[in-house]
Chains A and B, each alone.
Chain A
Amino acid sequence: MTSSRTQWLLRSYGFAVYAFLYTPIAMLVLLSFNDSTAITLPWGGFTLRWYWALAENQSLFVSLKNSVILGLATAMLATTIGCLAAFAFRYRFRGQVVLMRVLLLPLVIPGLTIGVALLLLFHAAGVRPGLLTTTLVAHVGFALPYVFVLISTRLHRFDESLEEAAMDLGADELTTFWQITFPLIRPGIIGSALFAFTLSFDEFIRTLFTIGNDNTLPIQIWSMLGSMVSPELNATATLIVVVSVGLVVLGELFRGTDPVMGAIKKAREERP
């Protein structure tokens, strides 16, 4: 429908924005091969020593593992809780407006104050800080409003006639949800989960105050940046980028199709 010129314009623009997004990344990758202890230009020669240093730095891998685990846990929990809440909002009920504001309020509170408050709270309650206990609470609370916003935008004016049709055909509520509703909002859920993971993976300040004995990657990075030479951090960043992009490419190659969406698409295309 859109003219090919518009298509071309859109694609070029998309490419330009990706270029902007990846500019610092390109610089990071470049610097990870730079033979200099400073994480900046001028170019001191090509070297792989930062990658060797990374391979020997066990603690970095442990931190990375912790961050991934925490991120996945946050994504799952925040998306589930946020989904449930967003669904609740489809029904009219008393106090809806107030509750909505309350749900969004954590967005407004600076992370620093949340961190300190949680630290004091857990200390007073005698809860021992831990990666998948106190830190997880901090991360899920952090991600929840964002997930709520994202899923709500997807649910906004959701076409209920599809669900009603399914129920008329004899499906109960659970089946309707899984077979009809869920696939249609799935991009919203995937997007929110991805977003929640990203928020958690890069989160630093709330983590700093609520974590126990462990390190997450941002904490280790901040600590290393603060007291020593650490270009192996660039190697870490490059590795993260390469692995993620690699996974995406692999995922694309081995992708299956989705029966419901496929059927709906086909039905639409076949309509006269």
Chain B
Amino acid sequence: MTVTRRRFLETLGRGGLSASLMGGGVLGAWGAMNAAAQSALPGPLRIHGNPIATRDKDMKPFREQYGVELQIQLSVTHTETVTRIYSGATQQFDLFTLQHPFIKKLAQDRMILPIEEDKIPNIGNLYEHLRRPDWGVHEGRLYALPYLWGFDSIVYNQKQIPKVDSWGVLFEDTYRGRVAWRDDPLQMILTAALYMQKFSNPNNLSEAELAEVKKFLISRKKNIRTMWTTYAEAVNLLRSEEVFALWGWLPMATSLRKEGMQTEYAFPKEKPIMWFTNYIVSKDSRVLPTVWAFLDYTLGDKFTMSLTEDFDYRMGSSRQLKLLSPERIERIGLTNVSALVANSYTYLMPDHLDKYVQTWAEVKAAAI
């Protein structure tokens, strides 16, 4: 009798230890089994995605509502995601997050499935300009569900620089040594091209035009303190006042402002760079009903408002306009969505991306 009881307690203990090691997986599964009695969605749902789109706190409500297990792997860059999709990742994952320039090619190559709009009740929530975007439509079908969109611009410390309204702050001598670029060929070359304002199609520069941009960038390298690769570096540079302005993303400004720093997000007159991040559906997914339920969830109010609250993001669902206060709407820049879209420059992949990369390599390698 005693032996069995001891053995029972031991097993419980080990189960408890392994549960905590598996991050509550055992207990989670127990809860899931109970919830699953209500709805019968197949699982697990495997996502390879951006950490922002897959935060524990945002995934929990979906998990609890449908009792489906979620397996999430974090993605690092969009090009890495694309590489993996072409190397068999469609069999490992049901959903990916990906930015807009890559969508069309993946659709053409049949690596992703079109969105079944009639299976997503909340699809009507999408902003107008997100319903049938050029970059996301192939053969009349929508292949990407945008959940997040915005533009890249300049994050600056208002205490040190009163107002920024041009990309020039990153290139001119005025704040020499106190600005930073992003270490990214496409974005920085495009930014320089937009600033120079002399190219007909900055998204697709010719070799001669690339050479011009290269010369320009090399000549301005002396004005920057450094280039950043990760979000965390950029935030560090601003917070420690190592730089006063950098090429950056909205959430950087938001999070620093929450700490009492006067960081602002500029709207350059030469046009900021617009992007759209999407969920795409793997061609080999075997849990499609769950996929549509999940996509529906991301267009729902809970998901939308959670990210808006924490990051001031522009989400896929236009319900933001109804649920936010007017001051907040103004702060996020959603007062006139169509004007915003019209005055921004949506970036696309150039035909010769390898030339861009090689140009950037030379910019970085050049001695100042």
Q: Which residues of A contact B (CB under 8 A)?
A: 36-42, 44, 56-59, 61-62, 65, 119-120, 123, 128-129, 208, 212-215, 219-220, 222-230
Contacts and interface: CB of A to CB of B under 8 A. Distances in A.
Interface of B: 20-24, 46, 50-52, 56, 71-77, 80, 83, 87-88, 91-93, 229-233, 235-236, 238-240, 251, 255-256, 258-259
Given A37-B259, A56-B56, A226-B51, 20 more contacts: A36-B259, A61-B23, A62-B23, A65-B21, A119-B87, A120-B87, A129-B92, A208-B80, A213-B46, A213-B71, A213-B92, A215-B74, A219-B74, A219-B76, A222-B76, A223-B74, A224-B51, A225-B231, A226-B231, A227-B50
Contacts of B56: 56-59
A39 B233 CA distance: 8
6 contacts: A37-B235, A38-B232, A40-B239, A57-B56, A208-B76, A227-B51
A59 B259 CA distance: 26
B251 A223 contact: no
A110 to B, nearest CB: 15
Contacts of B75: 223
A19 B10 CA distance: 44
Contacts of A56: 56
Q: What are the 3 A-B residue pairs with the smallest beta carbon separation, nearest first?
A: A58-B23, A38-B239, A223-B74
Question: Chain B interface mostly helix, strand, loop or mixed?
Answer: mixed
Contact of B51 (A40, A213, A214, A223): A223
Contacts of B21: 61-62, 65
A193 to B, nearest CB: 23
B22 A226 contact: no
A225 B231 CA distance: 6
Contacts of B71: 213
A256 B256 CA distance: 53
Contacts of B83: 119
Given A58-B23, A61-B23, A44 B259 contact: yes
A37 B240 CA distance: 12
Contacts of B24: 58
A38 B240 contact: yes
Given A57-B56, A119-B87, A36 B239 contact: yes
Contacts of B51: 223-224, 226-228
A64 B18 CA distance: 14
A219 B52 CA distance: 15
A226 B259 contact: no
Given A37-B256, A62-B22, A65-B21, A226 B76 contact: yes
The residue among B230, B238, B255 with the most chain A CB atoms within 10 A of its own CB is B230
Given A120-B87, A215-B74, A222-B230, A42 B240 contact: yes
B235 A213 contact: no
Contacts of A230: 232
A40 B24 CA distance: 32
B87 A123 contact: yes
Given A41-B240, A208-B80, A213 B73 contact: yes
Nearest to A204: B76
Nearest to B76: A223
Contact of A229 (B73, B233, B235): B235
A226 B51 CA distance: 9
